[in-house]
């Protein structure tokens, strides 16, 4: 069974979201979720009344994609090279 990673997008206005008794908090970062939960999180929109016009609340991806996103965000925040990841 594939494991996915999900988090509330950094740009989303939502700070917390509850789905079927599981609380997702933006401040906690990535959560490990199963495929069924990942499918439920992907379509959640910031615009409840008109979902197709809202931006997605969650980022849902594989563990490898989540690590790549973290590396990119780290580079954006601190663009200096490191010993293990030189420029």
Of 60, 53, 69, 56, the C-alpha closest to 32 is: 60
Tokens representing 23?
A: 């609380």
Q: How far apart are CA 74 and CA 57, in angstroms?
A: 21
User: By the 8 A CB rule, do 33 and 42 touch?
Assistant: no
Distance of CA 2 to the CA centre of its chain: 17
- For range 65-77, the mean pLDDT: 83
User: By the 8 A CB rule, do 16 and 25 touch?
Assistant: yes
Is the pLDDT score of 83 beyond 90?
A: no
The pTM of this model reads 0.75
> What pLDDT does 87 receive?
58
């Amino acid at each position: 069974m594939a494991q996915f990673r999900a988090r509330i997008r950094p740009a989303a206005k939502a700070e917390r979201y509850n789905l079927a008794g599981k609380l997702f908090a933006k401040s906690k970062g990535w959560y490990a979720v199963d495929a069924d939960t990942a499918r439920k999180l992907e379509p959640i929109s910031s615009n409840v009344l008109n979902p197709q016009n809202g931006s997605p609340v969650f980022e849902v991806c594989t563990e490898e994609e989540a690590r790549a996103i973290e590396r990119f965000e780290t580079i954006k925040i601190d663009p200096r090279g490191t010993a293990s990841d030189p420029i």
